[in-house]
């Protein structure tokens, strides 16, 4: 189901997000070009997405392949990422269309992406998804396995590791959420410091509508925001 939002509603949401975003930047001393604000556009109709792009959204992402395929050709020029669990049989649909797959959650998937990318004569940029809370319900590498995963995946010719992504557990308090972001930042820096060949730890993607400001304060340089921009949606 595609949701349509009025221009006025979007403008209000966008202004609120930007002001929260800028406030968090001030805390870190970063400037707006240092942190990517990506719009998570699941269930949002193409007109609304293109309106958002015209308003200054430069990055968008889908988390389902089917929806990516339905919208991709109708989007105005924009950076596109993929942020959902990806089945190996759908890899080829995605690598032709996005510039970064943020949600590489297994060695097997990385190998398939590498294979398909080479077939298409390209090297695919990826992030490794980390299950920072160690939840059974979530995809991603366990924190303790992430360094080894980076080492192994960095050997593949068809992918370039650009950083890490996470979706922390739903927390009751801000402190608890902040704790997961801190843990994630530490893991990111520890792996970056290892300077593993063919891996570039430049992007730390964490923070969504409810906590993107906290994530920025704790070192995120890519935040993925859906609801705060487009309103509450009925999930498919």
Residues that bind ligand PLP (CB under 6 A): 40, 42, 63, 83-84, 167, 208-209, 224-228
The distance of closest approach from Cβ of residue 64 to ligand PLP in the complex, given in angstroms and rounded to an integer, is 9
Comparing CB distances to ligand PLP, the nearer of 63 and 221 is 63
Comparing CB distances to ligand PLP, the nearer of 126 and 156 is 126
Residues contacting residue 179 through CB under 8 Å, at least 6 positions apart = none
The distance of closest approach from Cβ of residue 119 to ligand PLP in the complex, given in angstroms and rounded to an integer, is 27
The distance of closest approach from Cβ of residue 61 to ligand PLP in the complex, given in angstroms and rounded to an integer, is 7
Pairing of the two strands 100-104 and 124-130: parallel
Comparing CB distances to ligand PLP, the nearer of 53 and 220 is 220
The distance of closest approach from Cβ of residue 155 to ligand PLP in the complex, given in angstroms and rounded to an integer, is 27
The distance of closest approach from Cβ of residue 210 to ligand PLP in the complex, given in angstroms and rounded to an integer, is 6
The distance of closest approach from Cβ of residue 81 to ligand PLP in the complex, given in angstroms and rounded to an integer, is 10
Comparing CB distances to ligand PLP, the nearer of 41 and 114 is 41
CA 172 to chain CA centroid, Å, is 23
The distance of closest approach from Cβ of residue 113 to ligand PLP in the complex, given in angstroms and rounded to an integer, is 17
Comparing CB distances to ligand PLP, the nearer of 131 and 158 is 131
Comparing CB distances to ligand PLP, the nearer of 1 and 193 is 1
Comparing CB distances to ligand PLP, the nearer of 90 and 115 is 90
**Residues 55, 200: Cα–Cα separation, whole Å:** 31
Pairing of the two strands 199-205 and 100-104: unpaired
What residue is closest to ligand PLP based on CB?
A: 226
């Amino acid at each position: 189901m595609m949701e349509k939002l009025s221009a006025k509603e979007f403008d209000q949401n966008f202004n609120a997000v930007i002001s929260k975003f800028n406030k968090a930047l001030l805390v870190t001393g970063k400037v707006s070009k240092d942190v990517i604000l990506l719009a998570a556009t699941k269930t949002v109709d193409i007109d609304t997405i293109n309106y958002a792009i015209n308003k200054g959204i430069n990055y968008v992402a889908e988390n389902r392949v089917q929806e990516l395929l339905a919208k991709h050709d109708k989007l105005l020029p924009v950076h596109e990422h993929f942020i959902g669990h990806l089945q190996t049989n759908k890899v080829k649909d995605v690598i032709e269309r996005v510039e970064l797959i943020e949600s590489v959650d297994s060695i097997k998937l990385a190998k398939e992406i590498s294979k398909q990318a080479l077939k298409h004569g390209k090297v695919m940029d990826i992030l490794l998804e980390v299950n920072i809370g160690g939840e059974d319900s979530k995809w991603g590498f366990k924190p303790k396995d992430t360094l080894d995963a980076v080492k192994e995946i960095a050997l593949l010719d068809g992918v370039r590791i650009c950083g890490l992504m996470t979706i922390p557990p739903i927390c009751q308090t801000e402190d608890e959420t902040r704790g997961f972001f801190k843990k994630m930042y530490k893991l990111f820096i520890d792996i970056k410091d290892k300077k593993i060949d063919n891996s570039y730890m430049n992007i730390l993607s964490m923070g969504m509508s409810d906590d993107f400001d906290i994530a920025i304060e704790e070192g995120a340089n890519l935040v993925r925001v859906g609801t705060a921009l487009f309103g509450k949606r009925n999930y498919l």
